[in-house]
A and B are shown apart, each in its own frame.
Chain A
Amino acid sequence: MLNRRAFLRAGAIAVGLPFLEGLPERSAWAADAAPVFSLFIVAACGVVGSRFFPDETGPLSVDSLAGLTDKATSVLAPHADRLLFVKNINFPMPGPTNCGHSQGLCQALTAAPAGGGGGTAYSNGMSADMVIAQAVNDAGTDPLTLYAGNRRNGYIAERISFKGAGAGQVRSADDNPYTLYSRLIGLTSKDGTTTPDATDAAAALLSSRKSVNDLVRGELKQMLSLSALSAADKQRLEQHFDSIRDAEIKMNNMSLACTQDGLAVSQLEAYKTGFAFRMDGMIEDVAKLHLELVALAFACNFNRVATLQHGDGTDATKYAVPSNAGLNWPFHHISHRVQSDSAIGSNQTAEDAHAEIDVVRMQTLLHGLDQFEERGLLDKSMIMWTNHIADGPTHSFKNVPTIIAGNAGGYLKQGAYVDAGNVTNNRLFNTLITAAVRDKTDWSTNFGDGSGSGGIDELLA
């Protein structure tokens, strides 16, 4: 029997491991319903509002957007007809009561006011990615949770995906793209062929895994029967129990490009050892690789939901943009317009640098959209890009920039810049969750804890 790593490496494996770790046969979707894939990106430290979106709402076209060269989002022009820009989306909290970065992160995907502050800030609700994953992924299949940035370089990494309310509920993220890559490489091949040996090995591996899983489940049941356990212990063991899956071989029938084409394989392999992915200046490269891998994971039906936190809440990346050449400040200080993590200044050069960083980040998003398009995913996905605050100096939770790419299977409006009407993001997520799980009957359209209820009509196709 091949060991798992040898199995992974055995050449030309097209259906072996991918489907060992792919979605089990029980899917939330009806057999004839095409799935919607959801990616939520939360970037750091706000944008320069006056230099980000077009000045006026209205239709977006390739030419019109490309012409707005003083706006960061103009770099997305090649996909203008697949984009929905949204203004006047607010977080539930009217403004920061302490560290706006951590409180913003905790609200960005939960639409619920944050608790605590700083590094120990917590959410007061489950995040949208988890809600969607529970509906469209098989039980126990959590969303992909990714992070771009140097964990040592900031204080508030991994604060967007939450299992629920309260301390200890934030979900850990993978910062090294190689981690996801290594889990995906068995799914794909360059020619789409499968060797009989690989198939036999997969069957043998599955059989043995079933034996082990049965034993482990039995032990967990035995533990769960102990009267000494607290409710928290039982919840922990039940989560473990639910995480065990008898993986199975399941052919990819998504009609999507589940191949390694388009992956920066040599770059990914270089991250196998060491911590180069955490080096200052690597954040955009790492974010691009994450986006490539999410597109691949979706195309291979490995998972249907993902999040990417793009930068730490107090991101210390020193971006090599022209206006930062003289300052050499970390991004967090640039966003504050003063060389301080807490104080607020008015340095114009820093504002210019921030605007240039916005452009860089939009180029990264563009790279991701290209990947989704090449894998035929844009009409089957929704990719939401937002920020944990509206802008740097104010740390405002009002009018947080929101970009949605992809129409979620024809559900969402495309090619437009719309005004959501000064609503809290619970209504945004009511719309997006509905788009993702719309064949489900038990979705209550009452997500989060903001003002009002229901979705946002302006976002609908």
Chain B
Amino acid sequence: MRSLSSLCATLVLTALAACADPPKQKTDTGPNDQSAGASGAAGESDGASGATGIELNGSPQHYRVVRLTNGQWAQSVQDILHLADPSGLEASFQSPVAGTTDFSNNELLLDVNQRSWADFQSAAESLADQVTSSPSALANVYPGTDSSGFIRTMGRRAYRRPLTNAETSAYNALFKSGSAMPGDKSAFAKGAALVIRALLQSPNFLYRTEFSPSGEPLSGYEVAAKLSLWLRGTTPSDELLDMAPNLTTADAAAEIASEMLDEPAAVTVMRQFHGELLHFARLGTISKVGVSNYRSSLNAEYEESSYLFFDKIFNEGLGVKDILTSTYGFVGPGMAKLYGIRQTGSGLIEQDLGPERVGYFSQLPFLTLNGLNGDPDPIHRGASINLDVLCASLGPPAAALPPIPPLEQNQTNRQRITLLTTGCGGTCHHDLINPVGFAFEHFDGMGQYRDTENDGLTIDSSGSYRFTDGSKKFADAGELMRAMAESQQAHLCYAKKLASFSLQRDIVEADLPLVSALSAISRAEDGSVKRVLTELVKNDAFRTHDEGAQ
């Protein structure tokens, strides 16, 4: 007979949960650890914040030097060199290790090692050769032929600030050295090529820096770089650099941020945020066995449908409440059949999905991903929402577990899972996972709505969830989603995740004032994602360098 602990573990975190997405834990590296800088100043707690109930236990390092992401590097070099097309060179760059942090732009992942140094060196050489290959190509980068103007202009774009006198002198010497090198190009082109190579390998280009004293506002150039790399995914434009000295106030920074948030580049940035937050990449890996209405071609529809839903949330000034309660979704041809919706055309079209489909988590992508073949998977559904939407503390993942038994005659899926979890005590967190998962029992493993199951048995999707600001009862997934939309917890969680992505670091207990402020905005009547982001820019956490707990 299997032990109770194993039984409990089944319910805590099955598949996804058992071998993925466990809470981060404090790291004890010992006194001689050379990597102490990368482990744990924070992270003392391995559970939920006492003040909010959500998990705030990361391991931020508050680096002052954070390397550009591969995407930021690619867009930056395209803009600095005025390339007509993306270089694509970053495709072969070393990529960050996925899954160790909430988001792939986390400071912990963005250093320069021997491999990435070689990547940057090779790419810089290739790009320099490309843009100096002809006079016309070089003129597109810089129209003049004076070395001092070239260095001043290119240096400011790459360093995201004007060069100092010492830096200018160093680049003048390098230009001179390059000009004298052998080769068929003009002296100007050869000098320019060497300067470009150096600029693109400089730590002043490769790292976004925050060198202002702790607690004091970042310089205007640092704010410009932080905003542009975050919301545009690229180096500041010449125009933004012109304005940079004036970006030292909260209002000035917020004004620029508001403009950026209305630009197409911000949509791309937020796609990355929502995609990593809710693991859209996993939608491409959905696999079903023995399900007649499943086609692998649906996976691409699910993925794009999800992105389009969140594009709309962002673009149309919507927010967390709408994520949780909107009855509209984007439907492709394959999805339309499953939804039972008539659809013309081949693309994904926004449709009213009906009153049973409340919020993103009542739509096909989430429900199908978290379904075992044709059956609903309340454990995964419940665990995913607890972890990703409510930031609940579910404790460490479980070891080897027993399988869920076959469904018996006259037994509902809910009864089966309840029986499996009964008596496992507090450690398995079924009190948090099961209610959320059971709320979706009207949706089978393909996300299709059903009134009954197992030869006509009535489905019970009601329950009660213990939010951090109080328990709430619900009759079904729709009521649960509306309760979540009104709860403080979902807004705190979203605020925490958004802050982590925006500040490029883990969020900890000390960040509670920031998270609470953002949550309040999100929870307000017009709590759009854009408003939350603008509030974030105004906050000292964005505009000063935070050393973290020392």
Contact = CB atoms under 8 A, between A and B. Distances in A.
Given A98-B18, A215-B202, A120 B24 contact: yes
A240 B121 CA distance: 12
A237 B62 contact: no
Contact of B38 (A153, A168, A328): A168
A226 B431 CA distance: 51
**SS class of chain B's interface: helix, strand, loop or mixed?**
loop
B426 interface: no
Interface in A394-418: 394-395
Nearest to A178: B92
Contacts of A116: 22, 24-25, 27, 396
B198 interface: yes
Contact of A164 (B33, B203, B396): B33
B96 A166 contact: no
A168 B282 contact: no
A122 B100 contact: yes
A165 B30 contact: yes
B126 A168 contact: no
B147 interface: no
A97 B10 CA distance: 14
Contacts of A327: 289
Interface string B458-499: 000000000000000000000000000000000000000000
B112 interface: yes
Interface stretch (B177-185, B255-263, B514-522): B177-185
Contact of B170 (A155, A215, A342): A215
B284 interface: yes
Contact of A342 (B19, B63, B130): B19
B124 to A, nearest CB: 8
B59 interface: yes
A90 to B, nearest CB: 16
Contact of A169 (B38, B122, B170, B204): B38
B30 A152 contact: no
A99 B19 contact: yes
Interface in A106-123: 115-122
B111 interface: yes
Nearest to B379: A342
Interface string A1-37: 1011110000000000000010000000000000000
Given A118-B22, A164-B34, A240-B203, A99 B397 contact: yes
B547 A230 contact: yes
Residue from B29, B99, B125, B202 with most neighbouring chain A CB atoms (10 Å): B99
Contacts of B21: 118-120, 155
Contacts of B35: 163-166, 168-169, 235
A395 B254 CA distance: 52
A342 B18 contact: yes
Contacts of A157: 97-99
Interface in B4-20: 9-10, 13-20
Contacts of A163: 35
B402 A343 contact: yes
A433 interface: no
B380 to A, nearest CB: 9
B285 A152 contact: yes
Measured as residues with beta carbon below 8 angstroms from the partner, the interface class of chain A is: 35 or more
A244 B117 contact: yes
Given A116-B25, A118-B18, A230 B125 contact: no
A123 B183 CA distance: 50
A236 interface: yes
A339 B289 contact: yes
B434 to A, nearest CB: 16
Contact of A97 (B13, B98, B212, B399): B399
Given A4-B122, A119-B20, A215-B170, A342 B398 contact: yes
Residue from B9, B20, B287 with most neighbouring chain A CB atoms (10 Å): B20
A340 B115 contact: no
A265 to B, nearest CB: 17
Contacts of B18: 98-99, 118, 341-342
B29 to A, nearest CB: 5
B227 interface: no
Contacts of B174: 211-212, 215
A190 interface: no
B10 A166 contact: no
Interface string B430-469: 0000000000000000000000000000000000000000
A444 to B, nearest CB: 13
B85 to A, nearest CB: 15
Contacts of B343: none
A101 interface: yes
B183 A240 contact: no
Contacts of A96: 399-400
A235 B64 CA distance: 12
Interface in A297-342: 313-314, 316, 318, 327-330, 338-342
Contact of B118 (A21, A151, A178): A21
A158 interface: yes
Interface string A211-250: 1100110111001001011111111110110111100000
Contact of A240 (B63, B117, B285, B397): B117
A344 interface: yes
B403 A207 contact: no
Interface in B107-163: 108-109, 111-118, 121-122, 125-126, 128-130
A234 B177 CA distance: 31
A223 B96 contact: no
Contact of B281 (A95, A152, A205, A329): A152
B264 interface: no
Interface string A164-195: 11111111111010110011000000000000
A142 interface: yes
A140 interface: yes
B300 interface: no
A219 B203 contact: yes
Given A170-B97, A220-B203, A208 B197 contact: yes
A141 interface: yes
Residue from A116, A117, A172 with most neighbouring chain B CB atoms (10 Å): A117
Residue from A150, A172, A223, A345 with most neighbouring chain B CB atoms (10 Å): A172
Given A99-B19, A237-B203, A167 B396 contact: no
B27 A243 contact: no
A171 B109 CA distance: 9
Nearest to B209: A223
Given A220-B203, A240-B111, A395 B400 contact: yes
Interface string B379-411: 000000000000000001111111110000000
A393 interface: yes
A244 B115 CA distance: 10
Interface of A: 1, 3-6, 21, 95-102, 115-122, 124, 140-142, 145, 150-153, 155-158, 163-174, 176, 178-179, 182-183, 204-205, 207-209, 211-212, 215-216, 218-220, 223, 226, 228-237, 239-240, 242-245, 313-314, 316, 318, 327-330, 338-345, 393-395
7 closest cross-chain pairs (CB), A and B: A232-B37, A341-B15, A166-B39, A3-B129, A119-B99, A164-B35, A343-B403
Given A118-B17, A339-B373, A343-B401, 17 more contacts: A1-B181, A6-B129, A99-B398, A117-B396, A120-B21, A120-B25, A152-B281, A155-B99, A156-B20, A164-B33, A164-B34, A165-B39, A170-B100, A211-B178, A219-B202, A243-B112, A339-B372
6 contacts: A165-B29, A170-B100, A230-B547, A232-B61, A340-B372, A344-B401
